Structure 1
Amino acid sequence: MSDIDTSPAMRVPPAAPAEAAAFFTARLTFQADVSDVRASLDSGAPGFVLVDSRGTAGWQQGHVPGAVHLPVADIPDRAASLLAPRVPVITYCWGPGCDGATRAALALARLGYQVKEMIGGIEYWIREGFPVEGATGTERRAADPLTAPIGSPTCAC
C-alpha cells in the first residue's frame, strides 16, 4: 500500500494537469481575492467597479472605501443607473459564509455585466487590515496575524 492509498487528502486523486489548469483558470476568472482588489483600487485605475451587495445596515456599519452600494434585491431596478455596461464589476458581501456576493454576481451576469466576486468579503478585507468607511469616517484595524502578513500590503503570492 502506498502513502497515496492511505492519505485522506488523496482518497480522490488529483486531476490530470490539463483538467487542473482549466479548473484553476476558471476559478480565477470568477473570483478575486481581497489583496488583489485592494492593490487594484490603490493603483487608481482598477479596471472595475466594486459593489457591496449587503443591505443598508451592513453598508452603514462599514464598507470598502469607493465601493458602490447595490443590495442584491435592488440589482434589477438600479444596476443600469449605477453601473456602466462595459465596465467589469466585482461583488462582495459579508464573508466566506455568505452567498450574497454570489447572488449579486449572478444577478449582474444575467443583466449582461462581466462580473467576479471578491472572495473573503468584507470580513477578510477587515482581517487583512484594510480601511473601512462607516458613519464615523474611515477606520483601519490591525491585520490579523493568522490571516494576513504583518507589515506587508500583500501576501506576495
Structure 2
Amino acid sequence: MDVAENFPGAGFVLVDTRRRASWDHGHIPGAVHLPTANIPSRATELIPAGTDVVVYSWGPGCNGSTFAALAFAELGYPVREMIGGIEYWARNGLPVETADGVRPGTPDGLVTAHSV
C-alpha cells in the first residue's frame, strides 16, 4: 500500500519485471515494463541512472522481483521491492490496466490493508 499511496509523484519509477504475456494480462497503470532478463541490457535506456526504482512481479509466491532488484542494484540503482506484487495490488482493490483500458479493482476483504 505504500507504493499505491505514493505513486505516481514520489520520485521513483515503478517497474513491472514480468514477461510480456503477464504484462498484457494486466499491470499497474503508469508502470514501466522491463522483464528481469532485460534489465542489464535495457535499464539505462529506459530509466536514468541514479533514479529510485521499485520493482514488482506476480506476488508473494514469486521471487522474480527479488532477482530484478538484484539486477538493478548491480547497475547502481537505488531499488526496493514491492512485496505482494500485482496480485496483492489487485486484491487490495487498486486499478489494473490492460489493452482494454484501466479497470478498478475489487477489494478482497481477506487481504485489503486500507480502504481505497
Query: Within 2, Cα distance between the matches of 1:149 and 1:78?
Result: 34
1:37 aligns with 2:3: yes
Assess if the C-alpha contact under 8 Å between 1:94 and 1:123 holds in 2.
Answer: yes
Q: Which has the larger radius of gyration?
A: 1
Contact 1:63 1:133 in 2 (8 A): yes
SS at match of 1:108: helix
Cα offset for 1:141?
2.4
- The structure 1 segments of at least 4 consecutive aligned residues displaced by more than 4 Å after TM superposition are none
CA drift at 1:47 = 1.4
Following superposition, the deviation at residue 149 of structure 1 comes to: 4.9
User: Which of 91, 94, 99 is the matching residue for 2:55?
Assistant: 91
- 1:2-30, CA deviations, whole angstroms, 9 ceiling, x for partnerless residues? xxxxxxxxxxxxxxxxxxxxxxxxxxxxx
Structure 1 residues 117, 149: closer, same or farther in 2, change over 3 A?
closer
Q: Judging by fraction of residues, say which structure has more helix.
A: 1
Cα distance in 2 for residues equivalent to 1:118 and 1:87: 16
**Which secondary structure state, in structure 2, belongs to the residue aligned with residue 66 of structure 1?**
coil
Instruction: Give the distance between the partners of 1:149 and 1:92, measured in 2 at CA.
Output: 18
Q: How has the CA–CA distance of structure 1 residues 51 and 149 changed in structure 2, closer, same or farther, with 3 Å as cutoff?
A: closer
Q: How many residues align?
A: 116
Inter-partner Cα distance in structure 2 for 1:110 and 1:86: 12
Pairs within 5 Å for 1:1-157: 35-41=1-7, 44-149=8-113, 152-153=115-116
Structure 1, unmatched stretches of 5+, are 1-34
CA distance in 1, matches of 2:61, 2:38: 21
In 2, the alpha carbon distance for the partners of 1:47 and 1:66 equals 13
**Contact 1:105 1:117 (8 Å CA) reproduced:** yes
How high is the sequence identity, in percent, across the aligned residues? Answer: 54
